[in-house]
A = this chain, B = another copy of it.
Amino acid sequence: MSNKIKASIIGASGYTGSELARILANHPNVEIGHITSESHADKKFSDLHPQFAGFVDVQLESAASLDVEDQDVLFLALPHGVSMDFVKKWADMKVKIVDLSGDFRLTSPEVYTHWYKKDHIYAEGFKHAVYGMPELHTAEIEKARLVANPGCYPTASILSLAPLFAKKVVEEGSIIIDAKSGTTGAGIKVSPVTHFSNVNENFRAYGIGGHRHTIEIEEQLGKLLKKQVMVQFTPHLLPVDRGILATSYASVSGEMNQEKLENLYKAFFNEKPFVRVRGSAPSLKDVRGSNFCDIYPYWDKRTGRAIILSAIDNLVKGAAGQAVHCMNLMFDLKETEGLTHIPMQP
């Protein structure tokens, strides 16, 4: 009998679901149990995603009628607002849950409702949900039953600024995060936003001043600083499939120089296997397909401002990879197990 972790993917028609399968199918300690899709329950997973032919050919099931008793962990790759129903339904079972939606990332149902314009049906969940960013919350994740996997923009943004906030050397009103994401962040569902000729050879900002990920960034940075934080966050849509590059600007308090800044970052991310503090600006392809976050902290002595560049693959470190990283911690595995993908470049 297998000692492998039985893991199921709830919601596999989208990019996050298929990326989970890409990682889990090759994870040495995992056996994929169920994969669900409400709209394609009559098909095999590889009918939907032909790249998996010969690897993951399991029959898709409906989540509604799924028996999860024998599973060890569930990855919920569902839209926000839908995920909470299933979290609630499975809350009292022994199965652990990593929820990749935005439903349990914030601190309260009230904040959720304000930013997501939606009522929350499971306030209880906020009490024990752990924000699944291993670089900040290792111990809590190890003990968690419900992990709220971070958003893609927040992952790139928070990691790029966490050292400054944790060390309290930042003027918190000064933060501007100008972030750029590939289109897979907008999902697999067709819409004018992701119509080829609207994205290709094009570039634009969106959600200016009001994107939901703003509050997620503010809450996490606020926890580090132990006071409320407000940031300026502007997302943009890049004509690429994968990747987020965040350019963060911060005024710092006290003396600073390039060496000091770099050391501060290196010390903070010491022993964090998926953050690479670098001496030059990262590009998206330096991390594509991998669970890395590459960070370059730059001190502009002319203007007296820190500029921090961070790059992730939004589907890996910004979603499925980080979720599997959390699973590794929850099941006492080596942090990097099953996550040793070398970035695909070119």
Contact = CB atoms under 8 A, between A and B. Distances in A.
A284 B340 contact: no
A67 B107 CA distance: 60
A209 B280 CA distance: 13
Assembly stoichiometry (copies) = 4
Identify the 10 closest CB pairs spanning chains A and B, nearest first. Answer: A51-B343, A197-B346, A204-B283, A178-B178, A209-B300, A190-B190, A241-B346, A51-B345, A196-B199, A183-B196
Contacts of A190: 190-192, 194-195
29 contacts: A26-B342, A49-B345, A51-B290, A51-B344, A51-B345, A53-B276, A54-B273, A55-B340, A56-B342, A176-B176, A190-B192, A196-B198, A196-B200, A201-B242, A201-B284, A201-B285, A203-B243, A203-B283, A204-B309, A206-B281, A208-B307, A232-B307, A234-B307, A236-B245, A236-B247, A238-B239, A239-B239, A242-B346, A289-B344
Given A195-B190, A234-B247, A305-B232, A51 B201 contact: no
Contact of A283 (B202, B208, B247, B344): B202
Contacts of A139: none
Contacts of A191: 190
Interface in A47-85: 49-56
A278 interface: yes
Sorting the interface of chain A by its residue count into under 10, 10 to 19, 20 to 34 or 35 or more gives 35 or more
Given A198-B346, A234-B307, 7 more contacts: A22-B342, A50-B294, A183-B200, A196-B200, A200-B346, A202-B243, A203-B245
